[in-house]
Structure 1
Amino acid sequence: MKKLIGAALICAMTASLISGCTPSDVGTVEPSETAKWMSGRPQDDFYYYANRDKLDNAEFEYGSVYAADAFDDSLIVERLENIVKDVAAGSGYEKGSEEYIIQTAYNTFISYDFDSEPVPEDLQNVIDEVMNAKTADELIMTDAKLYRDFGISGFFTLSASEDVYISGRRILTFYPFVSMCDVSFDSLADGNSALSGLVSDTRVYMQTLGYDVDTSSEYGKKLANLVLSVYGASGSKTAQDSYDVTDTIILSGDELNSIFTNVDIQEYFKAIGFDPNFCDRFGCYNKDQLICMNSLMVEDKLDALKALEIHKIYSSYMRFIAPSYDSLAGYVYDSYKPIEELAVNEIISNLKNETDPLYVERYYSKETDDALRSMCDDIREGYRALISDATWLTEPTRKGLIEKLDNIVYVTGTDLKRHDTSKYAGIGGNFYEFYMGYTRVGIADNIASLSQPVDRYGVEMKMQTVNACYSATQNNITITVAIAGDSFFDVNGDYYTNLGNLGATIAHEMGHAFDSNCIVFDQNGVYNPEWIADEDMDALLERNEKAVRYFEDNFTVFGIYHVDGELTLGENFADLSGMECIVTLAHSNEDLEKIFKSYAASYCRMSVDVVIIGQLSSDVHSPEVIRVNAILSTTGCFYDVYDVQEGDGMYIPPENRISRWH
């Protein structure tokens, strides 16, 4: 039996403005005129027409909220399980290689006694260092050690990321707090009840360190007040999707020093290991939060700061701490699965950087990559024609958009390279020692990345995930191996079927380069709203307003709930832009039929009602049936192919239809 906790290996984050979408992100809905839309005629409900067999025969497995998915992601899991098992059973691997790491993780995991191992010495030492700190200056140096050696960022959500104003450069960025100690700021908007769990957890943690109940409770209350202080400084933006690139504030070193008057912030960066030559320019999203954190870096807040650090340590490393304390038994779960199965799951969950190259080598070919890139080039040419023929664009903007289009690069499985084995050759010991050695390599790489130029061909999305995304700061499109195969792309299959499936997704991502969020980045990925002429931006915003009305006025969920046109605008327009692009590549009605059918099939999914309703308030994607039917209902050639007439369910009067480019 193993006591486990879901804890990922700590890797400091890098970030860029990315628009990523999977063909099966969201749920299906019922339109307002159910009888007509469920007739099975393509003219009434094309989504149902194309997916009728799967939807009519869909069965929800016990506990599942989805059924009839376009893609069965258990296939990915099965492949990864086979990779891990094959590697674990092998021999003769080069030290530090992906196979060596996987096999070492497997062997050390199955031999580690999670039930009785004491708290590891280095972990106990840093816990003691936190509690023994006499001043805020001492504690912030310990926080630097936690960042550097344990991947824990207690006081700041700090990471090396791309500078949106200088192409190719990285910058230290303070990301906004939208939660602290597992308390989301959104939940605090409805009152302080969410803090009761924080106080309770902190009381338990502090008691394991020898404090009595009353003292431990005081630590919890002080931490809760600290969280409330940061929440109060956050203003109206309390969720991650409240922030975008327009909120980026650039601070000089002197400006940052003027904010952090209570601590030596430059010494903090130095203690972590960031190159001081690149600590002269900083990004942040919420300056008031930084001012608040500085105000808390004082001696009379020391107990709250210590409680914050302890909470972070325990949350991150609970499975290595809990065996020493009966009171922590409730924070881990007992698993009775075979230890070998648990080891495989551990590796699949936490060693994706190691399984990813092996997945690519086993399931991706040059033939597939060549065909994929060829289709991407075709889509680029489709956009070239759309932009060239868009009469509403001024000539300077048209020229700029064509330059941006030409500068888009594709990132695929062939761009994923194996790592430098020398970095990992010395990793060993028991599972905890392996875990920390591996973690620290990742942390060191992130720290070092600050002084390294951004690689536009760098792979920032796991190739084993079913996804594709556009990055505005790199002006590139990443297409994973998992989406470039199986249900979405058949290298030996029909071109137009592929085009309506994965091609539509790629065209969608390419369309993000020109939506209202990403168009403010120029061809080099620099944030510069002024590079687009005012009259062109005004024309785009006018089209945006019409698109919002189109989706809100014409499409509902269960005939009651309206789609939020503002929330879903970027994704809706990317869908429409992608469709307008790929239909230009068809040469006949037969080609168009294949595109439309495979497009609808790629979005097949049935969801339970509560999931569908819930997504309307938070998901930037429209429900799948709307992503299909709303897009085709405003696509002119769809009317021609299926002879859609007034009175049909898919019919929208011409004056109410929208277009991204025409």
Structure 2
Amino acid sequence: MKREKNLWWIPSLILIIFSILLLTTNVNAQYKNGFDLSNLDKSADPTKNFYQFAVGGWVKNNPIPDDQVRWGSFTILAEDNNKILREIIEAAAAKQNWEKGSAKQKIGDFYAVAMDSVKIEKLGYKPIIPDLKKIDALNKKDLVKFLAEEYLNGNGYIFNFAVTIDAKKSDSYIPHLSQGGLGLPDVEYYTKDDNRSKEIREKYLTHIANMFKLIDVNPELANQYAQKVLDIETKLAKISNTRLENRDPIKTYNKMTVDNLVKLSPDFNWKEFFDGLGLTNLNLVNVAQPKFYKGLGEVLNNVPFDDWKIYFKWNVLRSSANALSSPFVNERFDFTQRYLNGAKAMPPRWKRVVQSINMTMGELLGQLYVEKYFPPEAKERARKIVDNLLVSMKERIEGLEWMSDETKKQALTKLSTFGVKIGYPDKWRDYSELEIARDSYAKNLERVSKWSRKQMLARLGKPVDKQEWFMSPQTVNASYNPTKNEITFPAGILQPPFYNQNADDAVNYGAMGAVIGHEITHGFDDQGRKFDEKGNIREWWTKEDGQKFQERAQKLVNEYNNFVVVDTFKVNGALTLGENIADLGGLTVSLNAFKKTEQYKKGEMIDGFTPLQRFFLGWAQVWATNARDEYLKMQVKTDVHSPSVQRVNGPLMNIPEFWEAFNVKPGDPMRNPDDKIVKIW
């Protein structure tokens, strides 16, 4: 694709790009002029802690609502979106005579029955009694058949199976087996003996027992059941990869024939399982974690079958709890949100149901969302700003002093073939075979699960659908997909504070420009760089350039490893490396584009700040966040993203323009020593 090199028209484009968005008519007052000076903490020194200086006032004045575990730009915008979605959904639910099969009929019926708390309370756990009885009647010889049937019903026990894009043949799909079967959010909570992990396991035992008590298991037996569940999950955890190990797409690509899978894992009847899924002629499969499947047989054989039945019941309970009566909902919330994440109160029912619709029928709801709030003109204009950042990345690659011409040529080829998705799909997902009725919330969730599994299995043997989206239009996020080599920016994120039509270029480039640059850089981070322009894992780097990249990336790992988040919990520099590279690259690429604007060239001050200073203030504003300590402890263990304070400060410590803007001198905390400065993209 041809890229424009002359960017003189960027400033005017930036000012009008989303002028027609109706969403911006309700912009929060703090974003009215791009950056609210009350966000500042003027008592803080920007050379010591820029995050505190830039948004310390915001942090002080925006406490976390009781039903949230963190509160910041993403959550605030998501909450605003929830209110919009609620209006759309409740309008659909208010009528029962929509055309059968229409989006409004399905969305409205799903919401209406999910909001019928009187009916749900009356049912108690009756919706799952058939599942529990099925497990009671299960014989060991029927285990594989049971697991296949349950998979088709939307339930995954012990391991995970999916149909995904083949990472070395990205024009086709492949069956994909991966580790699974755990109820806690991280493998290491089962295997580590630090105080936090041991405490979590004790709380988890109590939670499991409490859930069994709710289906009338006596307390003593419920405690025994909980221990059996934890024992099984611990065995599965010990043969599982860590979260860090699973970041590597090369290590998790192990394509083999079904015959070789049988040799790897001979104690499980794989042919019967695949036949049960309707995949009778299956030949090849990718096994993400071979050691898990090698050890699976021993776990299956060493656990008494009656214990497996208890484990299966637990999985029914934990996966269905939020669709059952309030005792189940409350117990699940108390452990997963109140204890693990620090939430103080449960969100109102309407909000939980909106989230449920987003998770199960997000694109169907998205059709109604964009119809009202994101017209086609906005989509076209948004594409142009993304193109500008792609041009900036091209210039950055061309100017790299550490990369050879041979690798640069390959990098530029990959960049030139980036796919870009803006706002909403050109072709909507087909929901015509999905049936939704006003009979039962639990039944509707089951219907969606079955439909979703059927849709996924139907991919096999078909060419990859390049138009398919994996994020709904209302999502407040953005993404890079390495196997498709594409970036996606849903309509939900194309709003203040990420993009603000009332703001100056500096703030918009520091915010949305850096977000766009972030996703572009993911194509060249420590894992994205392993994929070529077609989305295939391929070594397109020279050996020398690969080593230079690793050396630079390791400096970033070392930098983030030293960041203390809360108490003794630090950022895991290796786990968060990809996101940290993307943050640094995104800021650098966006800054490169911002320097072409008239605002930057003129250097006129606004509210006492230069354009360059406002650029970095815009960056900080995006990440202004309050988070509970429990959430932060969970985040550093399980999330590939660094917490917000470190996301703001970390990249800036490596950017000379930031030092210039705020007079950061050698030796100041916001400036890395010369031998530790990181420059990649």
Band the TM-score falls in, shorter-chain normalisation: 0.7 to 0.9
Residues 1:455 and 2:493 aligned together: no
Map of 2:309 onto structure 1: 306
1:190-248: CA deviation from partner (whole Å, max 9, x where unpaired): 3675774487468648866xxx99888776665554434333433xx344765532322
Alpha-carbon distance, 1:187 to partner? 3.0
**Paired AA for residue 312 in structure 2:** E
Map of 1:230 onto structure 2: 236
Map of 1:579 onto structure 2: 587
Map of 1:393 onto structure 2: 403
Q: Give 3-state SS (helix, strand or coil) of 2:304's partner.
A: helix
Structure 1: how far apart are the matches of 2:56 and 2:113?
49
Q: What are the residue-to-residue correspondences of 1:524-539 with 2, within 5 Å?
A: 524-528=534-538, 530-539=539-548
Task: Kindly indicate whether the alpha-carbon contact (under 8 Å) linking 1:616 and 1:622 is maintained by their aligned counterparts in 2.
Answer: yes
Residues 1:543 and 2:557 aligned together: no
Structure 1 pair 156–600 and aligned structure 2 pair: CA distance change class (3 A): closer
| The one of 265, 272, 278 aligned to 1:267 | 272
Structure 1 pair 387–56 and aligned structure 2 pair: CA distance change class (3 A): same
Q: Give 3-state SS (helix, strand or coil) of 2:492's partner.
A: coil
Alpha-carbon distance, 1:101 to partner? 0.4
| The one of 115, 119, 124 aligned to 2:121 | 115
Task: Kindly indicate whether the alpha-carbon contact (under 8 Å) linking 1:104 and 1:428 is maintained by their aligned counterparts in 2.
Answer: yes
1:76-123: CA deviation from partner (whole Å, max 9, x where unpaired): 2211111112222346533212211012123434557223348768x5
Residues 1:624 and 2:644 aligned together: yes
Map of 2:448 onto structure 1: 438
**Paired AA for residue 174 in structure 2:** I
**Paired AA for residue 143 in structure 2:** L
Task: Kindly indicate whether the alpha-carbon contact (under 8 Å) linking 2:566 and 2:633 is maintained by their aligned counterparts in 1.
Answer: no
Map of 2:150 onto structure 1: 146
Structure 1: how far apart are the matches of 2:184 and 2:561?
37
Task: Kindly indicate whether the alpha-carbon contact (under 8 Å) linking 2:205 and 2:223 is maintained by their aligned counterparts in 1.
Answer: no
Structure 1: how far apart are the matches of 2:330 and 2:172?
45
Task: Kindly indicate whether the alpha-carbon contact (under 8 Å) linking 1:357 and 1:416 is maintained by their aligned counterparts in 2.
Answer: no
Alpha-carbon distance, 1:484 to partner? 0.9
Map of 1:88 onto structure 2: 93
Q: Give 3-state SS (helix, strand or coil) of 2:119's partner.
A: coil
| The one of 486, 491, 507 aligned to 2:517 | 507
**Paired AA for residue 260 in structure 2:** E
Map of 1:165 onto structure 2: 168
1:134-193: CA deviation from partner (whole Å, max 9, x where unpaired): 333x122122111112x1112321111222121122222221137258896523433675
Map of 2:337 onto structure 1: none
Residues 1:358 and 2:368 aligned together: yes
Task: Kindly indicate whether the alpha-carbon contact (under 8 Å) linking 2:70 and 2:627 is maintained by their aligned counterparts in 1.
Answer: yes
Map of 1:592 onto structure 2: 612
Structure 1: how far apart are the matches of 2:296 and 2:53?
56
Task: Kindly indicate whether the alpha-carbon contact (under 8 Å) linking 2:187 and 2:237 is maintained by their aligned counterparts in 1.
Answer: no
Is there any run of 5+ residues in structure 2 with no aligned partner, and where? 1-40, 335-344, 604-610
Task: Kindly indicate whether the alpha-carbon contact (under 8 Å) linking 1:114 and 1:319 is maintained by their aligned counterparts in 2.
Answer: no
Alpha-carbon distance, 1:291 to partner? 3.1
Structure 1: how far apart are the matches of 2:567 and 2:112?
55
Residues 1:276 and 2:280 aligned together: yes
Task: Kindly indicate whether the alpha-carbon contact (under 8 Å) linking 2:185 and 2:638 is maintained by their aligned counterparts in 1.
Answer: no
Alpha-carbon distance, 1:649 to partner? 5.7
1:311-361: CA deviation from partner (whole Å, max 9, x where unpaired): 2223333577779xx9x8985899999987886676466543432222222
Structure 1 pair 217–606 and aligned structure 2 pair: CA distance change class (3 A): closer
Structure 1 pair 233–656 and aligned structure 2 pair: CA distance change class (3 A): closer
Structure 1: how far apart are the matches of 2:150 and 2:43?
61
Residues 1:468 and 2:478 aligned together: yes
Alpha-carbon distance, 1:65 to partner? 5.7
Map of 2:489 onto structure 1: 479
Residues 1:187 and 2:195 aligned together: no
Structure 1: how far apart are the matches of 2:680 and 2:470?
29
**Paired AA for residue 116 in structure 1:** K
Structure 2: how far apart are the matches of 1:55 and 1:221?
42
Task: Kindly indicate whether the alpha-carbon contact (under 8 Å) linking 1:410 and 1:457 is maintained by their aligned counterparts in 2.
Answer: no
Structure 2: how far apart are the matches of 1:91 and 1:394?
64
Residues 1:368 and 2:373 aligned together: no
Structure 1: how far apart are the matches of 2:554 and 2:677?
13
Task: Kindly indicate whether the alpha-carbon contact (under 8 Å) linking 2:482 and 2:531 is maintained by their aligned counterparts in 1.
Answer: yes
Task: Kindly indicate whether the alpha-carbon contact (under 8 Å) linking 2:364 and 2:431 is maintained by their aligned counterparts in 1.
Answer: no
Structure 1: how far apart are the matches of 2:676 and 2:650?
12
Structure 1 pair 133–298 and aligned structure 2 pair: CA distance change class (3 A): farther
Structure 1: how far apart are the matches of 2:333 and 2:402?
60
Alpha-carbon distance, 1:404 to partner? 0.7
1:43-96: CA deviation from partner (whole Å, max 9, x where unpaired): 555434433542454445557664565762321221111111222234653321
Alpha-carbon distance, 1:540 to partner? 0.7
**Paired AA for residue 165 in structure 2:** E
Structure 2: how far apart are the matches of 1:339 and 1:300?
39
Alpha-carbon distance, 1:263 to partner? 4.3
**Paired AA for residue 553 in structure 2:** N
Q: Give 3-state SS (helix, strand or coil) of 1:167's partner.
A: strand
**Higher normalized contact order (CA 8 Å, seq sep 6+, divided by chain length):** 1
Q: What are the residue-to-residue correspondences of 1:419-438 with 2, within 5 Å?
A: 419-420=429-430, 422-424=432-434, 427=437, 429-438=439-448
Task: Kindly indicate whether the alpha-carbon contact (under 8 Å) linking 2:389 and 2:590 is maintained by their aligned counterparts in 1.
Answer: yes
Deviates more, 1:476-485 or 1:289-298: 289-298
1:381-405: CA deviation from partner (whole Å, max 9, x where unpaired): 1111111121322222111100111
Structure 2: how far apart are the matches of 1:271 and 1:143?
9
Map of 1:244 onto structure 2: 248
**Paired AA for residue 87 in structure 1:** A
TM-score after normalising by structure 1? 0.80
Q: Percent of aligned pairs with the same residue?
A: 23
Deviates more, 1:248-257 or 1:53-62: 53-62
Structure 1: how far apart are the matches of 2:463 and 2:375?
29
Deviates more, 1:186-195 or 1:450-459: 186-195
Task: Kindly indicate whether the alpha-carbon contact (under 8 Å) linking 2:112 and 2:438 is maintained by their aligned counterparts in 1.
Answer: no
Structure 2: how far apart are the matches of 1:332 and 1:656?
45
Alpha-carbon distance, 1:287 to partner? 2.2
**Paired AA for residue 589 in structure 2:** C
Task: Kindly indicate whether the alpha-carbon contact (under 8 Å) linking 2:110 and 2:444 is maintained by their aligned counterparts in 1.
Answer: yes
**Paired AA for residue 94 in structure 2:** A
Deviates more, 1:394-403 or 1:558-567: 558-567
Structure 2: how far apart are the matches of 1:644 and 1:338?
46
1:578-603: CA deviation from partner (whole Å, max 9, x where unpaired): 22212222133535344223112212
Structure 2: how far apart are the matches of 1:613 and 1:45?
21
Structure 1: how far apart are the matches of 2:186 and 2:587?
41
**Paired AA for residue 177 in structure 1:** G
Structure 1: how far apart are the matches of 2:93 and 2:503?
35
Structure 1 pair 260–125 and aligned structure 2 pair: CA distance change class (3 A): farther
Alpha-carbon distance, 1:305 to partner? 2.6
